Protein backbone atom coordinates (compact mmCIF):
# COMPACT_ATOMS: atom_id res chain seq x y z
CA UNK A 1 0.00 0.00 0.00
CA UNK A 2 1.40 3.39 -0.96
CA UNK A 3 1.82 6.14 1.58
CA UNK A 4 -1.07 8.18 0.21
CA UNK A 5 -3.46 5.23 0.27
CA UNK A 6 -2.34 4.33 3.78
CA UNK A 7 -2.95 7.90 4.92
CA UNK A 8 -6.42 7.87 3.39
CA UNK A 9 -7.30 4.61 5.17
CA UNK A 10 -6.00 5.96 8.46
CA UNK A 11 -7.98 9.16 8.03
CA UNK A 12 -11.15 7.17 7.32
CA UNK A 13 -10.52 5.02 10.39
CA UNK A 14 -9.95 8.04 12.59
CA UNK A 15 -13.08 9.61 11.15
CA UNK A 16 -15.17 6.58 12.08
CA UNK A 17 -13.70 6.50 15.58
CA UNK A 18 -14.39 10.22 16.01
CA UNK A 19 -17.98 9.74 14.88
CA UNK A 20 -18.44 6.84 17.30
CA UNK A 21 -16.98 8.85 20.17
CA UNK A 22 -19.23 11.81 19.37
CA UNK A 23 -22.25 9.50 19.18
CA UNK A 24 -21.34 7.89 22.50
CA UNK A 25 -20.78 11.30 24.09
CA UNK A 26 -24.14 12.53 22.79
CA UNK A 27 -25.84 9.37 24.08
CA UNK A 28 -24.28 9.80 27.54
CA UNK A 29 -25.26 13.47 27.72
CA UNK A 30 -28.79 12.62 26.63
CA UNK A 31 -28.97 9.82 29.20
CA UNK A 32 -27.79 12.15 31.97
CA UNK A 33 -30.26 14.84 30.89
CA UNK A 34 -33.20 12.43 30.80
CA UNK A 35 -32.25 10.99 34.20
CA UNK A 36 -32.15 14.47 35.75
CA UNK A 37 -35.54 15.38 34.29
CA UNK A 38 -36.96 12.11 35.63
CA UNK A 39 -35.53 12.78 39.08
CA UNK A 40 -36.91 16.32 39.18
CA UNK A 41 -40.38 15.15 38.22
CA UNK A 42 -40.29 12.15 40.58
CA UNK A 43 -39.17 14.24 43.56
CA UNK A 44 -41.71 16.96 42.78
CA UNK A 45 -44.61 14.50 42.70
CA UNK A 46 -43.26 12.71 45.79
CA UNK A 47 -42.96 15.97 47.74
CA UNK A 48 -46.50 17.11 46.90
CA UNK A 49 -48.16 13.76 47.65
CA UNK A 50 -46.11 13.26 50.81
CA UNK A 51 -47.02 16.70 52.19
CA UNK A 52 -50.72 16.10 51.56
CA UNK A 53 -50.69 12.69 53.24
CA UNK A 54 -48.48 13.87 56.11
CA UNK A 55 -50.93 16.64 56.93
CA UNK A 56 -53.80 14.13 56.91
CA UNK A 57 -51.82 11.67 59.03
CA UNK A 58 -50.88 14.30 61.62
CA UNK A 59 -54.49 15.50 61.86
CA UNK A 60 -56.14 12.08 62.02
CA UNK A 61 -53.34 9.95 63.56
CA UNK A 62 -54.66 7.24 61.25
CA UNK A 63 -52.53 4.10 60.87
CA UNK A 64 -54.30 3.05 57.63
CA UNK A 65 -53.13 6.34 56.13
CA UNK A 66 -49.57 5.30 56.97
CA UNK A 67 -50.07 2.33 54.65
CA UNK A 68 -51.33 4.69 51.95
CA UNK A 69 -48.28 6.90 52.60
CA UNK A 70 -46.03 3.93 51.83
CA UNK A 71 -47.31 3.95 48.25
CA UNK A 72 -46.28 7.55 47.50
CA UNK A 73 -42.83 6.56 46.13
CA UNK A 74 -44.38 3.96 43.81
CA UNK A 75 -47.14 6.35 42.72
CA UNK A 76 -44.58 9.08 42.03
CA UNK A 77 -42.36 6.76 39.99
CA UNK A 78 -45.27 5.29 38.00
CA UNK A 79 -46.66 8.74 37.17
CA UNK A 80 -43.18 9.95 36.19
CA UNK A 81 -42.68 6.95 33.89
CA UNK A 82 -46.05 7.54 32.24
CA UNK A 83 -45.52 11.28 31.74
CA UNK A 84 -42.00 10.84 30.35
CA UNK A 85 -42.91 7.64 28.46
CA UNK A 86 -40.00 5.78 30.06
CA UNK A 87 -41.65 2.38 30.36
CA UNK A 88 -41.19 -0.08 33.24
CA UNK A 89 -38.60 -2.53 31.95
CA UNK A 90 -35.72 -1.17 34.04
CA UNK A 91 -37.61 -1.80 37.31
CA UNK A 92 -36.73 -5.44 36.70
CA UNK A 93 -39.17 -7.77 38.42
CA UNK A 94 -37.21 -10.66 36.95
CA UNK A 95 -36.80 -13.86 38.99
CA UNK A 96 -35.18 -15.71 36.15
CA UNK A 97 -31.62 -16.39 37.29
CA UNK A 98 -29.70 -17.85 40.21
CA UNK A 99 -28.06 -14.53 41.10
CA UNK A 100 -31.46 -13.01 41.93
CA UNK A 101 -32.47 -15.98 44.10
CA UNK A 102 -29.14 -15.78 45.94
CA UNK A 103 -29.87 -12.09 46.49
CA UNK A 104 -33.29 -12.96 47.91
CA UNK A 105 -31.67 -15.51 50.21
CA UNK A 106 -29.24 -12.89 51.54
CA UNK A 107 -32.14 -10.44 51.82
CA UNK A 108 -33.92 -12.84 54.18
CA UNK A 109 -30.78 -13.63 56.17
CA UNK A 110 -29.18 -10.20 56.65
CA UNK A 111 -31.98 -8.65 58.80
CA UNK A 112 -31.97 -11.73 61.04
CA UNK A 113 -28.21 -11.45 61.54
CA UNK A 114 -28.32 -7.71 62.23
CA UNK A 115 -31.20 -8.02 64.70
CA UNK A 116 -29.71 -11.14 66.28
CA UNK A 117 -26.41 -9.37 67.03
CA UNK A 118 -28.06 -6.10 68.07
CA UNK A 119 -30.53 -7.60 70.51
CA UNK A 120 -28.07 -10.16 71.88
CA UNK A 121 -25.79 -7.27 72.85
CA UNK A 122 -28.72 -5.49 74.51
CA UNK A 123 -29.94 -8.58 76.40
CA UNK A 124 -26.50 -9.75 77.53
CA UNK A 125 -25.40 -6.27 78.64
CA UNK A 126 -28.60 -5.59 80.58
CA UNK A 127 -29.66 -2.67 78.39
CA UNK A 128 -32.86 -4.62 77.75
CA UNK A 129 -34.39 -7.75 79.26
CA UNK A 130 -35.43 -10.75 77.22
CA UNK A 131 -38.95 -12.12 77.56
CA UNK A 132 -40.69 -14.81 75.51
CA UNK A 133 -42.52 -12.92 72.75
CA UNK A 134 -46.29 -12.95 73.09
CA UNK A 135 -49.00 -11.87 70.67
CA UNK A 136 -48.80 -10.92 67.05
CA UNK A 137 -50.86 -12.11 64.11
CA UNK A 138 -48.57 -15.10 63.54
CA UNK A 139 -48.82 -16.45 67.11
CA UNK A 140 -51.58 -18.99 66.24
CA UNK A 141 -49.25 -20.47 63.63
CA UNK A 142 -46.42 -20.70 66.17
CA UNK A 143 -48.73 -22.55 68.55
CA UNK A 144 -49.97 -24.93 65.84
CA UNK A 145 -46.35 -25.79 65.04
CA UNK A 146 -45.67 -26.38 68.75
CA UNK A 147 -43.00 -23.74 69.20
CA UNK A 148 -44.24 -23.10 72.75
CA UNK A 149 -43.02 -26.55 73.80
CA UNK A 150 -39.44 -25.98 72.64
CA UNK A 151 -36.64 -24.57 74.82
CA UNK A 152 -36.76 -20.76 74.73
CA UNK A 153 -33.60 -20.07 72.69
CA UNK A 154 -34.61 -22.61 70.04
CA UNK A 155 -38.26 -21.56 69.94
CA UNK A 156 -37.28 -17.91 69.55
CA UNK A 157 -34.97 -18.70 66.62
CA UNK A 158 -37.79 -20.59 64.89
CA UNK A 159 -40.19 -17.71 65.57
CA UNK A 160 -37.75 -15.21 64.04
CA UNK A 161 -37.17 -17.33 60.93
CA UNK A 162 -40.88 -17.97 60.40
CA UNK A 163 -41.71 -14.30 61.03
CA UNK A 164 -39.09 -13.28 58.50
CA UNK A 165 -40.42 -15.59 55.79
CA UNK A 166 -44.17 -15.25 56.37
CA UNK A 167 -44.02 -11.64 57.50
CA UNK A 168 -42.14 -10.66 54.36
CA UNK A 169 -44.94 -12.15 52.26
CA UNK A 170 -47.69 -10.48 54.30
CA UNK A 171 -46.06 -7.05 54.01
CA UNK A 172 -44.91 -7.49 50.42
CA UNK A 173 -47.37 -5.15 48.71
CA UNK A 174 -46.97 -2.10 51.03
CA UNK A 175 -43.18 -2.42 50.93
CA UNK A 176 -43.33 -2.74 47.15
CA UNK A 177 -45.02 0.65 47.28
CA UNK A 178 -41.79 2.08 48.66
CA UNK A 179 -39.22 0.04 46.77
CA UNK A 180 -40.67 0.70 43.30
CA UNK A 181 -39.86 4.33 44.00
CA UNK A 182 -36.64 4.13 46.00
CA UNK A 183 -34.62 1.34 44.40
CA UNK A 184 -36.82 0.79 41.36
CA UNK A 185 -36.56 4.38 40.16
CA UNK A 186 -34.76 6.99 42.25
CA UNK A 187 -31.50 5.08 42.82
CA UNK A 188 -31.03 4.11 39.19
CA UNK A 189 -31.77 7.67 38.02
CA UNK A 190 -29.26 9.10 40.49
CA UNK A 191 -26.67 6.74 39.01
CA UNK A 192 -27.63 7.52 35.40
CA UNK A 193 -27.49 11.25 36.15
CA UNK A 194 -23.93 10.68 37.42
CA UNK A 195 -24.50 12.26 40.82
CA UNK A 196 -21.64 11.86 43.24
CA UNK A 197 -22.56 9.35 45.99
CA UNK A 198 -25.94 8.29 44.57
CA UNK A 199 -26.53 5.68 47.28
CA UNK A 200 -25.85 8.21 50.04
CA UNK A 201 -28.24 10.71 48.44
CA UNK A 202 -30.94 8.06 48.07
CA UNK A 203 -30.49 7.06 51.72
CA UNK A 204 -30.80 10.64 52.94
CA UNK A 205 -33.99 11.15 50.92
CA UNK A 206 -35.39 7.84 52.17
CA UNK A 207 -34.66 8.78 55.80
CA UNK A 208 -36.08 12.30 55.39
CA UNK A 209 -39.29 10.85 53.97
CA UNK A 210 -39.79 9.04 57.33
CA UNK A 211 -39.22 12.12 59.50
CA UNK A 212 -42.79 13.55 59.55
CA UNK A 213 -44.37 10.28 60.73
CA UNK A 214 -41.60 9.93 63.33
CA UNK A 215 -42.35 13.42 64.67
CA UNK A 216 -46.05 12.54 64.68
CA UNK A 217 -45.22 9.54 66.90
CA UNK A 218 -46.64 7.04 64.42
CA UNK A 219 -43.48 5.26 63.33
CA UNK A 220 -40.88 4.93 66.09
CA UNK A 221 -41.53 5.93 69.67
CA UNK A 222 -39.02 7.39 72.05
CA UNK A 223 -38.45 9.80 74.90
CA UNK A 224 -37.33 12.48 72.46
CA UNK A 225 -38.53 13.18 68.93
CA UNK A 226 -35.11 14.65 68.12
CA UNK A 227 -33.31 11.48 69.21
CA UNK A 228 -35.77 9.37 67.23
CA UNK A 229 -35.20 11.45 64.10
CA UNK A 230 -31.41 11.28 64.47
CA UNK A 231 -31.68 7.54 65.08
CA UNK A 232 -33.72 7.12 61.89
CA UNK A 233 -30.97 8.79 59.86
CA UNK A 234 -28.23 6.75 61.57
CA UNK A 235 -30.09 3.51 60.81
CA UNK A 236 -31.71 4.13 57.43
CA UNK A 237 -28.76 5.71 55.60
CA UNK A 238 -26.36 2.75 56.10
CA UNK A 239 -29.25 0.33 55.54
CA UNK A 240 -29.83 2.01 52.17
CA UNK A 241 -26.34 0.90 51.14
CA UNK A 242 -27.21 -2.72 51.87
CA UNK A 243 -30.48 -2.58 49.93
CA UNK A 244 -28.80 -0.72 47.06
CA UNK A 245 -26.01 -3.29 46.82
CA UNK A 246 -28.56 -6.09 46.53
CA UNK A 247 -30.50 -4.16 43.88
CA UNK A 248 -27.46 -3.30 41.78
CA UNK A 249 -25.65 -6.64 42.07
CA UNK A 250 -28.68 -8.73 41.11
CA UNK A 251 -30.21 -6.28 38.64
CA UNK A 252 -33.62 -6.96 40.19
CA UNK A 253 -35.79 -4.99 42.60
CA UNK A 254 -36.95 -8.16 44.41
CA UNK A 255 -33.98 -8.54 46.81
CA UNK A 256 -34.39 -4.93 48.00
CA UNK A 257 -38.12 -5.55 48.50
CA UNK A 258 -37.48 -8.74 50.48
CA UNK A 259 -34.79 -7.27 52.75
CA UNK A 260 -37.03 -4.28 53.48
CA UNK A 261 -40.12 -6.33 54.28
CA UNK A 262 -38.16 -8.94 56.27
CA UNK A 263 -36.57 -6.18 58.33
CA UNK A 264 -39.95 -4.66 59.14
CA UNK A 265 -41.43 -8.06 60.00
CA UNK A 266 -38.81 -9.16 62.52
CA UNK A 267 -37.69 -5.92 64.18
CA UNK A 268 -41.29 -4.76 64.65
CA UNK A 269 -42.42 -8.31 65.48
CA UNK A 270 -40.59 -10.93 67.57
CA UNK A 271 -37.57 -8.83 68.52
CA UNK A 272 -39.71 -5.91 69.71
CA UNK A 273 -42.03 -8.20 71.71
CA UNK A 274 -39.08 -10.10 73.19
CA UNK A 275 -37.52 -6.97 74.71
CA UNK A 276 -38.51 -4.96 77.74
CA UNK A 277 -36.85 -2.27 79.82
CA UNK A 278 -36.61 1.48 80.39
CA UNK A 279 -35.65 3.73 77.46
CA UNK A 280 -34.49 0.77 75.40
CA UNK A 281 -35.51 2.60 72.22
CA UNK A 282 -32.34 4.69 72.55
CA UNK A 283 -30.25 1.55 71.99
CA UNK A 284 -32.37 -0.92 70.05
CA UNK A 285 -35.29 -0.86 67.64
CA UNK A 286 -35.43 0.90 64.29
CA UNK A 287 -33.77 4.06 65.58
CA UNK A 288 -31.47 2.57 68.22
CA UNK A 289 -27.76 3.34 68.51
CA UNK A 290 -26.66 -0.30 68.70
CA UNK A 291 -28.88 -1.08 65.72
CA UNK A 292 -27.22 1.73 63.75
CA UNK A 293 -23.71 0.52 64.57
CA UNK A 294 -24.44 -3.06 63.52
CA UNK A 295 -26.14 -1.90 60.30
CA UNK A 296 -23.14 0.31 59.50
CA UNK A 297 -20.72 -2.56 60.14
CA UNK A 298 -22.78 -4.82 57.88
CA UNK A 299 -22.81 -2.19 55.12
CA UNK A 300 -19.02 -1.79 55.33
CA UNK A 301 -18.49 -5.56 55.15
CA UNK A 302 -20.83 -5.82 52.16
CA UNK A 303 -19.07 -2.92 50.42
CA UNK A 304 -15.73 -4.68 50.76
CA UNK A 305 -17.13 -8.00 49.60
CA UNK A 306 -18.81 -6.64 46.48
CA UNK A 307 -16.05 -4.07 45.84
CA UNK A 308 -18.48 -1.20 45.23
CA UNK A 309 -17.28 2.37 45.46
CA UNK A 310 -20.50 4.26 44.76
7-11, 103-107, 223-227: range with highest mean pLDDT: 103-107
Which residue has better confidence, 111 or 138?
A: 111
Whether the per-residue pLDDT at 8 is higher than 60: the answer is no
pLDDT in tens, 43-58: 999 999 999 999 998 8
The whole-number pLDDT of residue 60 equals 86
The whole-number pLDDT of residue 230 equals 95
256: exposed, middle or buried (C-beta count within 10 Å: 0-12, 13-18, 19+)?
Answer: buried
Whether the per-residue pLDDT at 109 is higher than 50: the answer is yes
The whole-number pLDDT of residue 14 equals 46
Whether the per-residue pLDDT at 22 is higher than 90: the answer is no
The whole-number pLDDT of residue 217 equals 82
Rounded average pLDDT over 135-164: 84
The whole-number pLDDT of residue 1 equals 54
Whether the per-residue pLDDT at 12 is higher than 90: the answer is no
Quote the mean pLDDT of the chain: 88
Whether the per-residue pLDDT at 97 is higher than 80: the answer is yes
Asked if 278 contacts 122 with a C-beta cutoff of 8 angstroms, the reply is: no
CA–CA gap between residue 218 and residue 63 (Å, rounded) = 7
Whether the per-residue pLDDT at 9 is higher than 60: the answer is no
The whole-number pLDDT of residue 13 equals 45
CA–CA gap between residue 146 and residue 123 (Å, rounded) = 25
pLDDT in tens, 247-293: 999 999 999 999 999 999 999 999 999 999 988 999 999 999 999 99
Hey, what long-range contacts does 196-203 have (CB within 8 A, 24 or more apart)? 197/310, 198/310, 199/240, 199/241, 199/244, 199/310, 200/237, 200/240, 202/240, 202/244, 203/236, 203/237, 203/238, 203/239, 203/240, 203/241, 203/244
CA–CA gap between residue 154 and residue 127 (Å, rounded) = 22
CA–CA gap between residue 98 and residue 100 (Å, rounded) = 5
pLDDT in tens, 164-219: 999 888 889 999 999 999 999 999 999 999 999 999 999 999 999 999 999 888 88
Amino acid sequence: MTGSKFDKQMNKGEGRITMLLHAKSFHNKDKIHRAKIGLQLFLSILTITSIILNVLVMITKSMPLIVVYMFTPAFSSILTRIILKEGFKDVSFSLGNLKIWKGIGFALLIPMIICGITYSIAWLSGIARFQPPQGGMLEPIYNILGFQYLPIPLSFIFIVVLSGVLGSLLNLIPVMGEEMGWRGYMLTRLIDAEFSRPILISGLIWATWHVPIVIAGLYVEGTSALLSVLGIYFCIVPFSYITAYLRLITGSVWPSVIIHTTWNAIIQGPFARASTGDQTEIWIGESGLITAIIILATAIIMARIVNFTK
